[in-house]
Amino acid sequence: MTSGTIKHLDDGFVQSFGEDFDEKLPVITDVLKDNSVNIGGFELNITYHDENIEIEFPQINCVYTHMLGHDCHSIVAGEAHADIIIKQLEGYKEKGYNLVLSSHYTPETLADVDIKIAYLEDLKVIARESKDIDEFKNKVKSKYPSYSGLNYLDMTAGYFFPQN
């Protein structure tokens, strides 16, 4: 948490909220590194990604991921990142998980996974067909008018159209 995306988010909160935001980071005393672990009688399979983890609960046909959000914009750091997320979501389908839990959303199903995959594919096409950040955001908002998380769309647009 001293570098990378989490640190950048923390710095942004400090800049935005000033002294109202508690910027103290907790002291990390234990770090789970195992790929398989039994916690409370549940066998968990853990996949470590650069900025987060994915936890599979095979006993209950469930997976935890940072965020799915079938009707919410997500932070997508460009086309290559969209492809990584799609591959991850396709893996959920291959394993037949019937429940997806996340940090930022309600429990979701494989039907929601399909919706998110289509959204990610659309983002890539819309980005290729847009000349700039504003056109991209307007096209995405037009195609997905009821989606929440416009701040996530702003971040995604910044990744697809970085300002030099």
Hey, which residues does 48 pair with through a beta bridge?
53
pTM (2 d.p.): 0.79
**pLDDT confidence of residue 164:** 44
What pLDDT does 48 receive? 86
DSSP 23-78: -PPPPP------SEEEETTEEEEEEE-SS-EEEEEGGGTEEEES---TTB-----S
Q: Which tokens sit at 71?
A: 């009707």
Contact between residue 71 and residue 152 where contact means Cβ atoms under 8 Å apart: no
Which CATH fold would you assign to the domain 33-160? Metallo-beta-lactamase; Chain A (3.60.15)
**At a CB cut-off of 8 Å and minimum separation 6, what does 14 contact?**
21, 23
Please list, in sequence order, all residues whose beta carbon lies within 8 angstroms of the beta carbon of residue 107, skipping any fewer than 6 positions away. Answer: 99, 100, 101
What is the residue extent of each domain of the chain? Answer: 1-31, 33-160
DSSP run (H or E) holding 10: helix 4-17
Return per-residue pLDDT of the chain as tens, 164 residues. 677 777 788 888 888 888 888 888 788 888 888 899 998 888 999 998 876 789 999 999 999 998 889 999 999 999 999 999 999 999 999 999 999 998 878 899 999 999 999 999 999 999 999 999 999 999 999 999 999 999 999 999 999 998 74
**Which pLDDT score is estimated for 61?**
93
Q: In one letter, which amino acid is 17?
A: F
